[in-house]
């Protein structure tokens, strides 16, 4: 199957994925990257790709036999196709992710208060294991620092945050780091979102922890600064079938005059049994 016509139509560097490896990984690459060609497979055609991109600003070009057909993802679901071979998925803009490492300095993110410190963020990323082909939810995302870092590592990301001011910051932070993060300005409505592979809950609110655990992602990480939230969050993860571990962080940074005061945080993480 040749995809050269679609490469030319893209007009920018493209990622190529094979739907034979599964619909979800292919969709997550389309959700995370600005230009993706999906080689279609039996049972996975333009309709399935279009339906899976609801909520993301994308346009499709379908290679249907010898013809290239531009189509909105919603229309790809209902249109009749003759012999579709591949689909080009394009975002409005090209994302230019930087390659300057991960666990970026705290001041790399605009924030109303403090962001989760780089030292702690590095540990969170290790537990979430973001990579191309997976979807991460960043719930109660705040400034979106964790979600942006996951996107920089190639994952598709949905940031859920009810504070409209913080949502603006998430969009700004994602743009500053050349990634696409879908922002949901609301409380977590899990049934309306595509199922994640990993979830980060940025505050230990019990309702958010329970809702996140209920979707049965392979990995869930919870950050809390309140001692009284630790045991309820742990119990909620265990009740949902997770093996739970935790650590209390008090990392303080060295300054010329000594150590900077630390903001203590407890991290819980669960792996699905």
User: What are the pLDDT digits (tens) for 172-216?
Assistant: 999 999 999 999 999 999 999 999 999 999 999 999 999 999 999
Taking only Cα atoms into account, the Rg of the chain, rounded to an integer number of angstroms, comes to 20
- Number of C-alpha atoms within 13 angstroms, CB side, residue 63? 20
pLDDT of residue 176: 94
d(CA 200, CA 159): 10
Helix, strand, coil distribution of the chain in percent, nearest 5? 35, 25, 40
236 vs 273 pLDDT, higher one:
236
**pLDDT class of 1 with cuts at 50, 70, 90:** low
Does this model's pTM top 0.75? My answer is yes
Q: Can you tell me which residue has the tokens 């071979």?
A: 85
Map out the domains of the chain as residue ranges. Answer: 1-91, 106-271
With H, G, I as helix, E, B as strand and everything else as coil, classify residue 156.
strand
Task: Mention the CATH class of domain 1-91.
Answer: alpha beta
**106-271 matches 1-91 in CATH topology:** no
Alpha helices in the chain (DSSP H): 4-10, 23-32, 46-52, 73-78, 118-128, 145-152, 164-176, 206-213, 230-239
Q: What mean pLDDT comes out for the span 238-252?
A: 94
- Name the average pLDDT for the chain: 94
Superfamily grouping for domain 106-271: Vaccinia Virus protein VP39 (3.40.50.150)
Percent of residues, the chain, with pLDDT higher than 90:
85
Q: What mean pLDDT comes out for the span 137-146?
A: 97
């Amino acid at each position: 199957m040749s995809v050269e016509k679609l490469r030319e139509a893209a007009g920018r560097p493209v990622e190529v994925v094979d739907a034979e490896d599964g619909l979800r990984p292919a969709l997550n690459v389309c959700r995370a990257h600005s230009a993706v060609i999906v080689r279609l497979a039996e049972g996975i055609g333009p309709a399935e790709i279009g339906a899976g991109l609801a909520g993301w600003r994308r346009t499709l070009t379908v290679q249907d036999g010898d013809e290239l057909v531009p189509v909105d993802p919603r229309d790809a679901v209902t249109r009749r196709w003759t012999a579709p071979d591949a689909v080009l998925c394009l975002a409005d803009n090209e994302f230019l992710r930087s390659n300057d490492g991960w666990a970026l300095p705290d001041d790399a993110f605009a924030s109303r208060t403090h962001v989760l410190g780089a030292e702690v963020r590095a540990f969170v990323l290790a537990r979430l294991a973001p990579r191309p082909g997976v979807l991460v939810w960043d719930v109660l995302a705040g400034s979106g620092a964790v979600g942006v870092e996951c996107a920089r590592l190639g994952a598709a990301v949905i940031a859920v945050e009810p504070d409209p001011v913080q949502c603006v910051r998430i969009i700004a932070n994602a743009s500053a780091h050349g990634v696409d993060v879908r922002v949901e300005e609301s409380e977590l409505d899990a049934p309306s979102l595509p199922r994640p592979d990993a979830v980060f809950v940025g505050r230990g609110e019990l309702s958010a922890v329970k809702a996140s655990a209920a979707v049965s992602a392979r990995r869930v990480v919870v950050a809390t600064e309140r001692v009284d939230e630790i045991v309820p969050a742990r119990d909620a993860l265990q009740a949902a079938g997770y093996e739970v571990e935790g650590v209390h962080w008090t990392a303080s940074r060295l300054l010329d005059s000594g150590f900077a005061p630390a903001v203590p945080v407890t991290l819980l993480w669960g792996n699905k049994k």
